[in-house]
Chain A
Amino acid sequence: MKHTLAVLVENKPGVLTHISGLISRRAFNIESIAAGYTEEPDMTRITIVVEADDEYELEQVVNQLSKLIDVIKIIDLTGQDRVHRELALIKVTAAPENRAEIVNIVEIFRAHIVDVNKETMIVELTGEEMKIDAMCELLEDYGIREIVRTGRIAIGRGPISAKEV
């Protein structure tokens, strides 16, 4: 089962190395990892999507990560009411005769075209992973040149923030 963890860490050099090193050393199955600044300048938030077979495996991931000195807090957002999103940038072949169709697809998915040239377009899409997968599948017919995805970020609904949990 996939679990989404919000990991609050000190905003210091080397923290990501510690985290990624631990994940690989303990052979945890990580699907994605996304890090960025937060509302507090000395704190970074990392969203980790981890595949765990059972509660013990998940417990190990959480406990081992928690042991890192610079990890302040870990919240499992999996069971909670939450919003999760991923951003993808997709460079798709856009021959003149296909452009209208691509624009149509982009509109249906509420994506944006952020760059156009004679041969290709870049589509920006935000959403849950399945939505991005679905759009990629459609765009494949035209020829996808390259895709870049951020990995999932997630936030709990309601007034309480993760650091207060």
Chain B
Amino acid sequence: MKMTGAQAVIECLKREGVEVVFGYPGGAVLTLYDELYMANFPHILPKHEQGAIHAADGYARATGKVGVCIATSGPGATNLITGIATAYMDSIPVVVITGQVAVSLIGRDSFQEADIRGITTPITKHNYLIKDVKDLPKAMKEAFHIARSGRPGPVLVDISKNVFAAELDFEYPQAISLRGYNPVYEGDPDSVDAVYKELLKAEKPLFFVGGGVNLSDTSEIMRKIIAYTGIPTVTSLMGLGCIAEDDPNYFGMIGMHGTYAGNLSTTETDLLIGLGVRFDDRVTGLLNEFAAKAKIVHFDIDAAEVNKNVRSHIKVIGNLEWSLDQLYRKIKERPDTEWKEQYRPWKEKMVTWMKEKPLVYNKETQRILPQAVIEKISEITRGNAVIVTDVGQHQMWTAQFYQFKQPRSFLTSGGLGTMGYGLPAAMGAQVGTPGKKVICICGDGGFMMNCQELMAVADLNLPVKVIILNNGYLGMVAQWQRTFYNQHYAHSCIKTKTDFVKLSEAMGVPAIRLENKEDLETALEKVIASDSPYLVDIRIPEDEDVLPMVPSGARLDQMIMGG
């Protein structure tokens, strides 16, 4: 079939099942946009390219589908960098299509030229520069395949402007042949047997669940294993939601702001089983004393993750769908009562820790505390909303106090820690899950980094709810300055008290301000029940800390406690 490169791009999107793209037009992609227009292809226009990439990322996290983002050459493409890096760190499947200047102009510092392939090499799973229209269908096919398979990640396809106009005889490749890319789905069954043998010996096993369980949609089988054996379970920030918070075997998030019981359990466990985790420094604390008494088992699809940070005794490489299924079959060879009996003293110990020092905050104060806001939102939504956060204190309070029930219900920039992520990601998540309540919780600092996307939310009348926990500070920065830098609040105080209600209304999103504790419940109920977008500016105290806290570089049981 004869068609132009631009038509071919759209044809490829259709063949890959893409339902919507997030993009921003510009010179190098005008031909493509003309075809999008003619094909009436669903397209969402954010107000900044960074909004487009975060939205595609939020869409992918909420739905499990590949998010697609389009931008023009040069500044359009470079505005995507933070979002691509965000997706890369959290292994989110995104295909990014950028326009490039015409082939004849490449390398001449032409108008709006940037070497986006070179720039994105360290932050993409793979990338392409298409200079010949003949290469386009194959590259698009590979891009989607690479983005969604194995350990997912962002793939960038940079397409020269003239390629969009050039004609080709379109044929979409049926099969993929990439000699250097064969993700291991089914690994070595012996490795699972080895884990089984360790479980038989262990007295204090601990499941440590990460984002990989979310990404591979394997929380169901994982929950079965936990329920059958009664093995105590903790999660990383990215693993929240994989296990319901009210599960009796769940003991919270671990790491810098993890629970007392969770963090203590890592120092006491004799068998730590990581499922789709990276052992990031925010979670391990002092690396060489992390889980020092334990044998460490690492389940991951990416062999390069094993022994990167923490030395593992057993590695189980492969898709969790395969490995957890194998493990489930193995453990069922023994009655569940025996497993539970074997681990009962250990679990009781953890329950005691949890009761001794639960997550607490001052419930008596007349001021609105952020933790209370999160608990209230959790109550109203019964843990069933899609919660999107920005980065900082509010993110940690959300992680600590929202009672997550479902996988893919907590979208946050965990690895890169990108301020400004929340609002556009919530927009993408709402586009992908129109039937769900999508709530963006952010601080007053991060909100301003991409607040322009309120306009996009209003354009589409997306019922996203934006909750700003407003303390007039860059809260997490201020907390560190308060704790470790002699209360030198170096540029963390936001001097201009922006009227977020007016700002929101000016952009077309209704908004309210909350200052009194007694209004909290009714106002939040009204806002969350509403079918339109809404912004709530909540004034919280400026000196509330996120606790517990493990100081950077300390061992996980060396926590500063709250309460």
Q: What's the Cα separation between A84 and B234 when bound, in Å? A: 50
Any B CB within 8 A of the CB of A10: yes
Q: How far in angstroms is the closest Cβ of chain B from A94?
A: 41
Q: Evaluate contact between A72 and B179: CB separation under 8 angstroms.
A: yes
Residue of A nearest to B126 (CB): A69
The answer to the question of A32 belonging to the interface, with a C-beta cut-off of 8 Å to chain B, is no
Q: Which of B101-135 contact A (CB under 8 A)?
A: 117-118, 121-122, 125-127, 129
CB distance from B546 to the nearest CB of A (A): 31
Q: How far is the CA of A67 from the CA of B306 in the complex (A)?
A: 13
Cβ–Cβ contact B311 & A72, under 8 A: no
Query: Residues of A within 8 Å of B, CB-based: how many?
Result: 22
The A34-63 residues at the B interface (CB cut-off 8 A) are 56, 59-60, 63
Is A69 in contact with B181, judged by CB distance below 8 angstroms?
yes
Is there contact, CB below 8 Å, between A63 and B304? Answer: yes
For A66, the chain B residues whose CB sits under 8 A away are: 303-304
**Residue from A13, A59, A71, A73 in contact with B307 in the complex, judged by beta carbons closer than 8 Å:** A59
Chain B CB within 8 A of A21 CB = yes
Q: Which residues of B contact A22 (CB under 8 A)?
A: 122
Q: Does A90 contact B (CB under 8 A)?
A: no
A67/B302 contact (C-beta < 8 A), A9-B180, A25-B122 known? yes
For A56, give its contact among B180, B181, B311 (CB under 8 Å): B311
Taken together as a complex, chains A and B put the C-alpha atoms of A63 and B117 apart, in Å, by 23
How many A-B Cβ pairs are below 8 Å?
A: 42
Check A21–B178 contact: CB distance below 8 A: no
Verify A14–B311 contact, CB threshold 8 A: no
Q: A110 at interface (Cβ–Cβ under 8 A)?
A: no
Within 8 A of B (CB), among A60-106: 60, 63-64, 66-73
Residues of A within 8 A of B180 (CB): 9-10, 68-73
Q: In the complex, what residues of B have CB within 8 A of residue A73's CB?
A: 180
A116 to B210, CA, bound (A): 66
The reply to whether the CB of B308 lies closer than 8 angstroms to some CB of chain A is: yes
CB nearest to A9 among chain B residues = B180
CB pair B307–A10 under 8 Å, yes or no, is no
**B146 in contact (CB, < 8 A):** yes
- Give B23 Cβ to nearest chain A Cβ, in Å: 24
A63–B307 alpha-carbon span in the complex (Å)? 10
Q: Which residue of B lies closest to A43 (CB)?
A: B179
- When each residue 1-20 of chain A gets 1 if its CB lies under 8 Å from chain B and 0 otherwise, what string results? 00000000110011001100
- CB distance B302 to A14 under 8 Å? no
Q: Is the CB of B304 within 8 A of A69?
A: no
| Chain B residues whose C-beta falls within 8 Å of the C-beta of A10 in the assembled complex | 179-180
B72 → A minimal CB distance (Å): 21
Given the known A-B contacts A10-B180, A17-B118, are A67 and B304 also in contact in the complex, defined by CB atoms under 8 Å?
Answer: yes
B residues near A (Cβ < 8 Å) are: 117-118, 121-122, 125-127, 129, 146, 178-181, 302-304, 306-308, 311
18 A-B residue pairings within 8 Å (CB atoms): A9-B180, A10-B179, A10-B180, A13-B129, A14-B127, A18-B121, A21-B121, A22-B122, A25-B122, A56-B311, A60-B304, A60-B308, A63-B306, A64-B304, A66-B304, A67-B304, A69-B178, A73-B180
